Amino acid sequence: MPPSPTPSFDAEALPHLDTLYRVGLRLTGNAAAAEDLVQDTMLKALRAWGSFRPGSNARAWLVTILRNQFISGWRSAQRGAKPVDMEAIPELPDAGDPDPEGRFFAELVDEEVLAALDRLPDEFRDVVLLSDLEGLPYGEVAEALGIPLGTVKSRLFRARRILQGELRRYAEENGLIRPTESTS
Amino acid sequence: MTHAPYDCTAALAELDAFLRGELPIESAERMQQHLVQCRHCTQIGHYEQAFRTRLQRLGQQLECPDALRARIHALLLDASAHE
């Protein structure tokens, strides 16, 4: 008898529980809801396992299911409007700025970085979440979110600038960026 | 075949892909040559990398809680028992 061509659900899906939980936590905003969302996602994924194409990307496939579950069942009850202006894109620092190499980033507390991330519109937050926090390659982010590669790159570009601007402003206000001593 | 000059605009457009290790080898070499000569892009590279590192740290420190993991294992066992 030939071996089954279908990889085992457990072997393909279980290694991605950490990623699913973290993404779920950012989407829902609380641990209990994230746990329920991940559990729902795994049940849904198990039932849909027959439609998974062997050799394709299980992580992106699972993230897609998680997001769809969230959008259909959870989103309406969650999260207020977000005030971040996505049109005014902050400039990158130039050599004359204090801390042009962004050393202040390392000093920011988690809560502040997460709060700034959560203020982004969903479609921008999601690309940063998958790409920068979870480390998915561009192609996998595109697959997980169901958007073209070019859209991933342009959203990522804009979202990172906005986020950097927000964090920079916070760092300035809280004394994490000190003026450089030389003023030449 | 002519190439557009590889200037700072071209380099910065590829910088994120370079930092993520997603640039093809030839483009990555071209980027490295540019960075050696260009202090401005090198500084931006440090800035972007500092930002990226901070976000990565957020991503790595949280794991799926053991209780949830156990619940899911139990669900899967249960599901396979009913197949």
Specify whether the CB–CB gap between A79 and A114 falls below 8 A. no
Chain A residues whose beta carbon lies within 8 Å of the beta carbon of residue B66: none
Question: What is the rounded radius of gyration, in angstroms, for the C-alpha atoms of chain A?
Answer: 20
CA B33 to chain A, closest CA, distance in angstroms equals: 20
- For chain B, report the end-to-end CA distance as a whole number of angstroms: 61
User: In the prediction, which pLDDT does A82 show?
Assistant: 61
Q: Which tokens belong to B10?
A: 């071209």
Closest residue to A39, CB basis, from B20, B51, B72: B72
Cβ B11 vs Cβ B34: under 8 Å = yes
User: Cβ B47–A92 below 8 Å, yes or no?
Assistant: yes
Q: pTM value?
A: 0.81
ipTM greater than cut 0.85: no
> Tokens standing for A116?
């700034």
In angstroms, rounded to a whole number, what is the distance separating the alpha carbons of residues B68 and B49? 33
**Closest chain A residue to the Cα of B16, Cα to Cα:** A157
pLDDT tens digits, B36-51: 999 999 999 999 999 9
Q: Which chain B residues are within 8 Å of A118, Cβ to Cβ?
A: none
CA distances for A1 relative to A4, A5, A96, A169, B83, angstroms: 9, 12, 70, 65, 20
Closest CA to A144 of A85, A71, A66, A28: A66
Rounded Cα gap, residues A134 and B60, in angstroms: 8
Taking CA–CA distances from B71, the nearest residue in chain A reads: A39
Taking a C-beta distance cutoff of 8 angstroms, is the pair B69, A17 a contact? yes
Rounded Cα distance between A129 and A135, Å, is: 8
Residue of B14, B42, B43 to mutate when probing chain A, most A C-beta within 10 A: B43
Cβ distance A21 to B17 less than 8 Å, yes or no, reads: no
A contacts of B54 (beta carbons < 8 Å): 105-106, 108, 113
| Spans in chain A with pLDDT lower than 70 | 1-7, 74-83, 179-184
pLDDT of residue A84: 73
